[in-house]
Structure formats: structure tokens, C-alpha cells
Amino acid sequence: MAGSTDFDLYRPSEEHEMLRESVRSLAEAKIAPFAAEVDEQGRFPQEALDALVANDLHAVHVPESYGGAGADALATVIVIEEVARVCASSSLIPAVNKLGSLPVVLSGSEELKSKYLAPLAKGDAMFSYCLSEPEAGSDAAGMKTRAVRDGDTYVLNGVKRWITNAGVSEYYTVMAVTDPEKRSKGISAFVVEKGDEGVSFGAPEKKLGIKGSPTREVYFDNVRIPADRMIGEEGTGFATAMKTLDHTRITIAAQALGIAQGALDYAKGYVAERKQFGKPIGDFQGVQFMLADMAMKLEAARQLTYAAAARSERVTLGADGKAEDLTFYGAAAKCYASDAAMEITTDAVQLLGGYGYTRDYPVERMMRDAKITQIYEGTNQVQRIVMARNLP
């Protein structure tokens, strides 16, 4: 076929498949053995962080010029997907490192990039993203956190809610209002450090799933930071936040793919071994139809996610992809993959019957973990609004 097609742009290369094999082997050996314990105890998956850092998989998106692997968007998706296949909480390490640092990559000064991306690439620090507030969730432009200029500094006051990996991350991209009269165009972005005076954290939320990834409120009480920690120009923070989400919603789709794949893999093995009425339950047509639907939804979600990753890469590189095109595909991938993951994990629990409902088997954890993918980085109701406004 003459010319380039979208399929050519997102088909995994041999290098991508080699990466998948290596990440899967690492995840099964170093992360999977602790997944149930991490969930049961609600503790941070330190073993996963150590393994990912040791293999340079904790923040593969960081450009080579700042000491990172310089992985493309599809490679990042594959890393998150394969880690999520065994432990969704652990997959939030590479996913949120990208979410937190991408505003710096997209809009930060060279000085800011060198200062904060290099430690992230080395594994010396993690990055979180502070957008949502108690009264500003889907309506992020309604945030109240303020940043007031004072000479060569800004003074931040406010609270951010639902911050993933809060308290563990060293760096935080924080959106704050610098001009209350301009609504979204009066919001600016800053890098705040965990050690800055006046930064503190709430108690970990008691969640349905992803229990190994701490979710806390972050408080800013007269936090004074240098003006050169602003990401981009004053008033451009909200635009940067939205551009970031166009890219990182694809990583949530990747997480959903991994969770769903883990559930499908486990269910396939179970129905081949579990016998009723004298034969494996996988021989019954009703079970076969369920597995077929699960696999079909998963593969459709994967193709959409990989297509979105190709668009993410083109937009990041400033090539021929349009931002509006990415906005639709990013929202569509996140929405479809997370809905599919919820359906697939629910069916996996059903296929295991009573065993699926117990913590002795991993599918109930996967079902609980899948739910958040329909909610964070924009609920799926919001994704449908985004898609409708950006129809290709």
C-alpha cells in the first residue's frame, strides 16, 4: 500500500515487542509477588519502585537530553500496560511521573527542565500533578488555590485534593490562580517541592481500589517559591494542564488495558482447569461467548489506545498531527478502554463464581482497581463531552 497510514504509525515495532517481553518478565518476577499484599495492607509498592528504577522504567518518557530513556508514547503505554497487568497501584509510578512532569516537558523553560527532569530520570524523585480541589473537580477552572506575586517570588495558598502519590513524590506541578478576573486564563502552573516550607499532606484516602498508591490532599500555607519555578508564562497554566491531559489520558487507557488483560489471562486459565458436570467450564458455549466478548473489547480498546499514542507522539514532536485530533483520540481511548476494563474485570469475577468474589483470587482486586480508570483524569461523562466538542 502506497503512502503512510495511521496503522503504520502505531503498529508496535520489534523494539516495542521486545520492550513488552522484558517489562512483563520484570513485572511477573519483581512486582506481581507483592501485589496482593500491597492491596491488602494499603502500602506503597516500594518493591515495584525499586525494580522500575533499577531497570530505567519508572519515567521512560523523559527525553534523552535530560538523562531519560526518551521513549516514545507507545513505549510508555506498553510499560504502563504491562505493569498494570499485575499491579494497578504500581503502574501509577510511571503513569503519574509522566502526568506530573509533562507540563514541564511541554511548557517549561530549559532551566526548569534541567533542574527537575534530570532527578526524575535518575529515579531520585517522583512527580505528581495538582489540579483538582474540593470544589473544583470536573470544573477545574473553578479552582481557588491562589498564587500572589511578591517581588521575585510567588506565595501559594490553597488545597488540592485527590493527588496521586502525594507524600511520596518530591515534586508537584501545581495549578493556581494568579488573576481571579480571568477564570481559566488567569491560572498559572508552578513546580512546588515537597520540602518547601508550608507544604503539608492530609491522611491517605481510604479507597475502593489502587490502595497501594497513596491519594492525599496537599496543603499550601503561605508557600513561597521563586518566580522562575513558573511553568510557561503567567496565565498559561490551564492551557498547559489541558494539553497535558490530552497526552496522559492515553496512559490511563494503558492502565485500563493492563488491568483488563490481567483479568482475562487469569480467567482463561481458571476456566480451563475448573470442572463442572464432568468437563472444564471453558467447554461450555456460554463461557466461551463471555471470553470471546472480553477478548474482543480488549483488542478494540488496545487498537484505539495505540492509535491515540501515535497521535500523541506526532503532536509532541510538532509534526503533522493536530492537537484537536489528539484531544478526541485521547478522550476516546481513555473512555473506551476504562469502560471495557470495568466490563472485562466484572465478567472475570463472574467466571470464577464464588472464588472470584474472594480475596484469595486476584480478579476481585482487578475489578476494584478498574473502577478508578473511569473516574480520574476526567470522568467518562466528561470524556464524552470532550469527544463531542472535538469530533474528527
pLDDT in tens, 262-278: 999 999 999 999 999 99
Q: In terms of DSSP bridges, do strands 127-130 and 171-177 run parallel, antiparallel, or are they unpaired?
A: parallel
Question: Which position has the grid cell 463472574?
Answer: 350
pLDDT in tens, 56-71: 999 999 999 999 999 9
Choose, from 82, 133, 217, 377, the residue flagged as catalytic: 377
Name the burial class of residue 109, with classes exposed (0-12), middle (13-18) and buried (19+) by CB atoms within 10 angstroms of its CB: middle
Please say if the pLDDT value at position 10 is more than 70.
Answer: no
Average pLDDT over all residues of the chain = 95
pLDDT in tens, 23-81: 999 999 999 999 999 999 999 999 999 999 999 999 999 999 999 999 999 999 999 99
pLDDT band at 2 (very low <50, low <70, confident <90, very high): very low
pLDDT in tens, 100-140: 999 999 999 999 999 999 999 999 999 999 999 999 989 99
- Ordered by where they begin, the domains of the chain are 6-122 (1.10.540.10), 127-231 (2.40.110.10), 237-389 (1.20.140.10)
Contact 343, 374 (CB under 8 A): no
**Cβ-based neighbours of 365, under 8 Å, separated by 6 or more:** 35, 36, 39, 209, 359
**Cβ-based neighbours of 66, under 8 Å, separated by 6 or more:** 113, 114, 117, 118, 121
One-character DSSP codes across 115-169: HHHHHHHHTS--EEEE--BTTBSS-GGG---EEEEETTEEEEEEEEEEEETTTT-
**Cβ-based neighbours of 200, under 8 Å, separated by 6 or more:** 218, 219, 221
Report helix, strand or coil for 234. Answer: coil
The gap from C-alpha 109 to its chain's centroid, in whole angstroms, comes to 24
End-to-end CA distance of the chain: give it in Å, rounded. Answer: 24
> How big is the chain by its Cα radius of gyration, in Å?
21
Report helix, strand or coil for 254. Answer: helix
Please say if the pLDDT value at position 13 is more than 80.
Answer: yes
What per-residue confidence (pLDDT) applies to 232?
A: 97
What per-residue confidence (pLDDT) applies to 323?
A: 52
Please say if the pLDDT value at position 321 is more than 80.
Answer: no
Question: Which position has the grid cell 508552578?
Answer: 190
Please say if the pLDDT value at position 343 is more than 80.
Answer: yes
Number of neighbours of residue 318 by Cβ within 10 angstroms:
7
Report helix, strand or coil for 332. Answer: helix
pLDDT in tens, 143-199: 999 999 999 999 999 999 999 999 999 999 999 999 999 999 999 999 999 999 999
Contact 83, 20 (CB under 8 A): no
What per-residue confidence (pLDDT) applies to 9?
A: 52
Helices (H), ranges, 197-284 = 237-273
Question: Which position has the grid cell 532527578?
Answer: 119
What per-residue confidence (pLDDT) applies to 316?
A: 61
Closest of 332, 377, 299 to residue 137, by C-alpha = 377
For the question of residue 377 being annotated catalytic, the response is yes
Question: Which position has the grid cell 480520574?
Answer: 376
pLDDT band at 7 (very low <50, low <70, confident <90, very high): very low
What per-residue confidence (pLDDT) applies to 320?
A: 44
**For a pLDDT cut of 90, what percent of the chain falls above it?**
92
What per-residue confidence (pLDDT) applies to 1?
A: 32
What per-residue confidence (pLDDT) applies to 392?
A: 85
Query: How far are the Cα atoms of 70, 129, 175, 194 from residue 132, in angstroms, in the given order?
Result: 29, 9, 9, 18
